[in-house]
Structure 1
Amino acid sequence: MRILGISAFYHDSAAALIEDGRIVAAAQEERFTRKKHDPSFPANALAYCLAEAGCGMADVDHVVFYDKPFLKFERLLETYLATSPRGFRSFRMAMPLWIKEKLFQKNLLRKHLGKLAGSKEWSGSLLFSEHHLAHAASAFFPSPFASAAVLTMDGVGEWCTTSLGLGRGNSLEIIKEIRFPHSLGLLYSAFTYYTGFKVNSGEYKLMGLAPYGRPRFAQTILDNLIDLKDDGSFRVDQRYFDYCTGLTMTSPAFHRLFGAEPRKPETPLTQREMDLAASIQAVTEEVVLKLARFARQETGERHLCLAGGVALNCVANGKLLKNRIFDDIWIQPAAGDAGGAVGAALAAWHGHLGKDRLANGRDGMAGAYLGPAYGQGEIERRLAAAGAVYKVLSDSEIIADTVEGLVQGKAVGWMQGRMEFGPRALGGRSILGDPRSPTMQKTLNLKVKYRESFRPFAPSVRREDVAEWFDIDTDSPYMLLVGDVLDRRRLPLGPDEGALFGIDRLNAPRSEIPAVTHVDYSARVQTVHHDTNPRYWELLSAFKQRTGCPVLVNTSFNVRGEPIVCTPEDAFRCFMGTEIECLVVGNCFLRKEDQPSALRQDYKECFELD
């Protein structure tokens, strides 16, 4: 039996296909359209999923959408009525789209699915899952746990913003929830907006900026913005926000409270923005820890599963792990809305159809390598058609030449196997570098990624070596846990370096692997496992044998504002538009100096800034 899950029409549209309970394929639409966070119907992602399964729409038993449009419309109407006439402008802008399309989403979906089926309208079984149930299902059902507490936290679904679920076997029940407008995700996004970053994409930047600051506004937030109870429940004072009825996130009262208007995007960052980031990060961590303690007490479960956009806050996840509230935690790698496609399909399989779970081993996400892959012959044809000059090497040669490039301090584009599902590159579509280099972090940010210099990079490390370098000794295959670099790997700071503040702290090497050590000695760790990505594991092994270091810098293969590369052509374009010096696609090895100069391009201006 085949079930298609769809997430669409808000941001990060995606499709997923499960076959007899196993996730066969999943991908975000942005990877095909090359439009970051593409919200449109995921026609390309769906076509890929069907091709990967070797079937057509006629072979699909159910299609499941990840939320319920009528419930969402009800929330919109009730919110506007409760706050009228203040929200009339926003109401006037939203209603035409709802009346034209969203209220008739069932018909719209059938028409889009019909195009895939080669007909006017698809007439098969179309189901709708509640948004937070889809998140919870994406977290629990692929997890390795027989039973677990399940926390979902995001901006808002239909009404729910935070939920506590209980998963046992093939059953999943939501037992507690917090409802709109009281939202931890929207509170964090309000600070994203206020500090000059883009909502729904800049939250990562706010989290990365936090270690440069001091949480001097944390008490102001707790005293004024959020009434936080001991059980983790909370209420958000709407006087300070404008997301219910307005067209911005924060209100004039918010600006008066913090003493300034929102920072204009792309203007210089000041210590104030760093302190604001540190403050909202500290409050978020406090809320998450209280929610987790309540979840443990309420359910009695020893394991915890997480999903929803807030679950992508890997710093909060790391604090949760360190506090040992639960014996173990598992986080859906596509924790945001894209993962709702997986969750909707699994909710139908287990909840609607009552099917048993499969034995998953580590988990059911296959390392998140659920996107397209390209055979060696196809890679060669595509690269040749793009005008690329490459050498075809044996398996051992491709590893050896890549290690040589890394040791020479080069940035290496690495495209291997299936593309990752979710926001993180995990060794399938990555840019790699030597973590021992004191200049690699700044070089990758400014000359390769074309992004803000303060943003940290993640280390990939073999699972068996992680405890030798970081203070965590657990699986972290999806780069969703932060741990500290071990004391013995740290470098002493001189008196001048220790006195630095803000962004200036970036210039002081802090460990044996400075390119992946943040200014507070933290690192967003990815453990690499031989069974899910053998080639990447072998590369790390060879780098360790050559250098004694089993760690590599791993960042997503894209530039700022660009979706992660999907095809060999995408990889070659990014290679030719940046200062990446080597490109490895399958067994093809490319050096920048060998490429026709006419194919060089200025990639800086190709994508809208995120």
Structure 2
Amino acid sequence: MGKTILGIAGYYHDAAAALVHDGEIVAAAQEERFTRRKHDPSFPVNAINYCLEEGFVDAADLDAIVFYDNPLLTFDRVVQNACAGARHGDAAGARDLFVQAAGAVLGDKIWVNEHVRQTLGTPGRAGRVLFAEHHMAHAASAFYPAPFDSAAVLTIDGVGEWATTTLGTGHGRKLELFAEIDYPHSLGLLYSAFTSFCGFKVNSGEYKLMGLAPYGRPRYAGRIREHLIDVRTDGSYRLDMNYFGWLDGMAMPGPRFADLFDGPARQPETPITRREMDLAASIQQVTEEIVLRTARHLRRLSGERNLVLAGGVALNCVANGKLAAAGIFDDIWIQPAAGDAGGA
């Protein structure tokens, strides 16, 4: 008799739950569908109940409950991030950042076991909650439902614990991630910085930036490559953190963004100008270049003919279209819920 596993994602954005029995997805749902709160980050009580009801499963019959993130590794990043901010001379800003970020981690994620007990009672055979690393959850969500027995695996997002980009392979039941790029260097956070600078909400408005891109010209792409990100031929990259605020404050783009891109950030709900269209076109072009270079490198490393994708950047369907058209891989499968909800 197969194992029955409940997967949970939550506390950051796009909370969700999924029920898997004997390797097959029985039910999956995002919490926002029940609360009507877009990108609802709360513990997914409604989604969990839906999945159990849909699968006719009692909580006592669960063999495992798995959370899509490792809170202790995330807390390690929060601590080191605050220390880095203090070393750069902004002790007050580092303290505020630590208090806010640590409160989110210690106030919610660290109590996942307790929230599970409150929702499900004593979860029977499942015992305590298990924790998957964030990018492994993304990778699993992409490889195991895909129609391939063997594939290269690419995950790209803002950040999960430390990793922001991972490369790996899947063979049968085995999934291995063998290379990664770590925070603070992140293609997802770079794209979100431009989302914020153009007046859209981070972790929500990135699709608007992608949709705005074809109305502009990539006239800022050279500045992005010269000042913001150093991209190697294999797709690996490093950001110049002097332009970004997530090491020493909560702002996505740092103050120097305004000097580099012809004036202050657009305020939300104000008219969109030619500059924002051109900024969108520029960061979209750079993102596509990085995705293509990384995919070519992964094809060389893995020798695989198929590719699976997940992580928030895999929601960039324009980049995905360029990747498919490039013919680097024979076939591509993209997790439909490529963002954090799919991590469940």
TM-score range, shorter chain: over 0.9
Distance 1:329 1:207 in 2: 21
Q: Contact 2:11–2:109 at 8 Å: present in 1 too? A: no
Matched, 1:159 2:162: yes
Q: Contact 1:111–1:121 at 8 Å: present in 2 too? A: no
Provide closer, same or farther for how the CA distance between residues 80 and 122 of structure 1 changes in structure 2, counting only shifts above 3 A. farther
Q: Deviations over 1:429-449 (max 9, x none)?
A: xxxxxxxxxxxxxxxxxxxxx
Q: Contact 2:11–2:43 at 8 Å: present in 1 too? A: yes
Letter in 1 for 2:33: R
Distance 2:99 2:15 in 1: 22
Distance 2:249 2:194 in 1: 16
Q: Contact 1:57–1:116 at 8 Å: present in 2 too? A: no
Match of 1:199?
A: 202
Q: Contact 2:15–2:341 at 8 Å: present in 1 too? A: yes
Letter in 2 for 1:36: K
Matched, 1:219 2:217: no
Superposition pairs of residues 514-533 of structure 1, within 5 angstroms:
none
Match of 2:96?
A: 92
Matched, 1:139 2:142: yes
Match of 2:289?
A: 286
Provide closer, same or farther for how the CA distance between residues 176 and 100 of structure 1 changes in structure 2, counting only shifts above 3 A. closer
Provide closer, same or farther for how the CA distance between residues 326 and 121 of structure 1 changes in structure 2, counting only shifts above 3 A. closer
Q: Contact 1:226–1:234 at 8 Å: present in 2 too? A: yes
Match of 1:83?
A: 85
Compute the displacement of 1:244 (Å). 2.0
Compute the displacement of 1:245 (Å). 2.0
Distance 1:266 1:240 in 2: 24
Q: Contact 2:84–2:248 at 8 Å: present in 1 too? A: no
Q: 2:313 pairs with 310, 314, 322, which one?
A: 310
Match of 2:11?
A: 9
Distance 1:120 1:50 in 2: 12
Show structure 1 runs of 4+ deviating over 6 A.
120-123
Q: Contact 1:139–1:305 at 8 Å: present in 2 too? A: yes
Match of 2:56?
A: 54
Q: Contact 1:110–1:121 at 8 Å: present in 2 too? A: no
Distance 2:316 2:32 in 1: 22
Match of 1:190?
A: 193
Distance 2:291 2:59 in 1: 41
Distance 2:264 2:208 in 1: 19
Match of 1:319?
A: 322
Q: Contact 2:139–2:155 at 8 Å: present in 1 too? A: yes
Provide closer, same or farther for how the CA distance between residues 221 and 318 of structure 1 changes in structure 2, counting only shifts above 3 A. same
**TM-score when normalising by structure 2:** 0.95
Higher helix share: 2
Q: Contact 2:78–2:98 at 8 Å: present in 1 too? A: no
Distance 2:248 2:118 in 1: 36
Provide closer, same or farther for how the CA distance between residues 196 and 104 of structure 1 changes in structure 2, counting only shifts above 3 A. closer
Match of 1:70?
A: 72
Distance 1:40 1:121 in 2: 24
Match of 1:32?
A: 34
Match of 1:589?
A: none
Distance 1:153 1:209 in 2: 21
List alignment gaps of at least 5 residues for structure 2.
none
Provide closer, same or farther for how the CA distance between residues 202 and 99 of structure 1 changes in structure 2, counting only shifts above 3 A. closer
Compute the displacement of 1:174 (Å). 0.5
**Secondary structure in 2 matching 1:264:** coil
Compute the displacement of 1:100 (Å). 8.3
**Secondary structure in 2 matching 1:216:** coil
Q: Contact 1:87–1:246 at 8 Å: present in 2 too? A: no
Distance 1:312 1:140 in 2: 16
Match of 1:179?
A: 182
Compute the displacement of 1:120 (Å). 11
Matched, 1:102 2:103: no
Provide closer, same or farther for how the CA distance between residues 72 and 100 of structure 1 changes in structure 2, counting only shifts above 3 A. closer
Letter in 1 for 2:290: V
**Secondary structure in 2 matching 1:32:** helix
Superposition pairs of residues 230-241 of structure 1, within 5 angstroms:
230-241=233-244
Compute the displacement of 1:123 (Å). 7.1
Q: Contact 2:62–2:126 at 8 Å: present in 1 too? A: no
Provide closer, same or farther for how the CA distance between residues 109 and 143 of structure 1 changes in structure 2, counting only shifts above 3 A. same
Distance 1:166 1:301 in 2: 8
Provide closer, same or farther for how the CA distance between residues 77 and 155 of structure 1 changes in structure 2, counting only shifts above 3 A. same
**Percentage identity across aligned positions?**
59
Compute the displacement of 1:38 (Å). 0.7
Matched, 1:296 2:294: no
Compute the displacement of 1:82 (Å). 1.7
CA RMSD of aligned residues (A): 1.9
**Secondary structure in 2 matching 1:209:** helix
Letter in 2 for 1:138: S
Compute the displacement of 1:102 (Å). 2.2
Match of 1:243?
A: 246
Compute the displacement of 1:117 (Å). 2.8
Distance 1:124 1:303 in 2: 37
Superposition pairs of residues 501-540 of structure 1, within 5 angstroms:
none
Letter in 2 for 1:27: A
Letter in 2 for 1:82: A
Distance 2:190 2:198 in 1: 13
**Secondary structure in 2 matching 1:156:** strand
Count of residue correspondences: 340
**Secondary structure in 2 matching 1:155:** strand
Larger Rg: 1
Q: Deviations over 1:198-219 (max 9, x none)?
A: 0001100000000000000001
Match of 2:133?
A: 130
Distance 2:108 2:267 in 1: 38
Superposition pairs of residues 465-504 of structure 1, within 5 angstroms:
none
Match of 1:574?
A: none
Distance 1:56 1:144 in 2: 30
Q: Contact 1:196–1:263 at 8 Å: present in 2 too? A: yes
